[in-house]
A and B are shown apart, each in its own frame.
Chain A
């Protein structure tokens, strides 16, 4: 079966510091991968999605970037964090064969101080 991992689970970082969140998927090949941010326990904002290695689509201009160095690895980064980057970051995957539901990881709670 497929599993999705995210780390770290929680992170407290000062303003201006760099960020690296990692997401990996097991048990599937060539998944579509997604990064979402959830503010205040409510709506989801799609940040990035990727349909293959090195292929990144950005949905919202912001202080963040994403990379996909391997088929099942998706990384969310920032060079300098802002207070507004605080939130709950969720990684998700879906198959690209026609099954369009997405499966989510456990999330990373980021607090920028």
Chain B
């Protein structure tokens, strides 16, 4: 069965510091991996994806994520956090070798960036 774990309910960082939001996954085959961001009372916005190729993926708003197959992780990173990055972040996975089209989402991590 597919699953996604976001081990931290909340991450707190100071503005200007690097940030990391953790994600680990479990699929029986090879994964497609995604990060989304959600601001209060809004829909989810797509940030970036890993499909194949380079393990370091760059996305919107200066975010990037690194796919690590041996550790089954896909951590979201940003070199310098902004207060406006404060939001709820979701990691999602899909097994590329399985039929069906649904993504499996983690429970979300709240990022709080202080000024």
Contacts and interface: CB of A to CB of B under 8 A. Distances in A.
Nearest to A44: B105
Interface residues of A, number: 25
Contacts of A49: 101-102
Nearest to B88: A41
Contacts of A101: 34, 46, 49
Interface stretch (A13-21, A73-81, A105-113): A105-113
Given A42-B107, A43-B107, A44-B90, A104 B102 contact: no
Question: What is the predominant secondary structure among interface residues of chain A facing chain B?
Answer: strand
A99 to B, nearest CB: 9
Contacts of A43: 105-108
A38 to B, nearest CB: 8
Contacts of A107: 41-43
Given A90-B43, A100-B96, 11 more contacts: A43-B105, A49-B102, A94-B101, A100-B32, A101-B34, A102-B46, A102-B103, A103-B46, A104-B45, A104-B46, A106-B42
Interface of B: 32, 34, 36, 40-46, 49, 51, 88, 90, 94, 96, 101-103, 105-108
Interface of A: 6, 32, 34, 41-44, 46, 49, 51, 59, 88, 90, 92, 94, 96, 100-107, 109
28 contacts: A6-B43, A32-B101, A34-B102, A41-B88, A42-B107, A42-B108, A43-B105, A43-B106, A43-B107, A43-B108, A44-B44, A46-B102, A49-B102, A51-B101, A92-B44, A94-B101, A96-B101, A100-B34, A100-B49, A100-B51, A100-B103, A101-B34, A104-B43, A104-B46, A106-B42, A106-B43, A107-B42, A109-B41
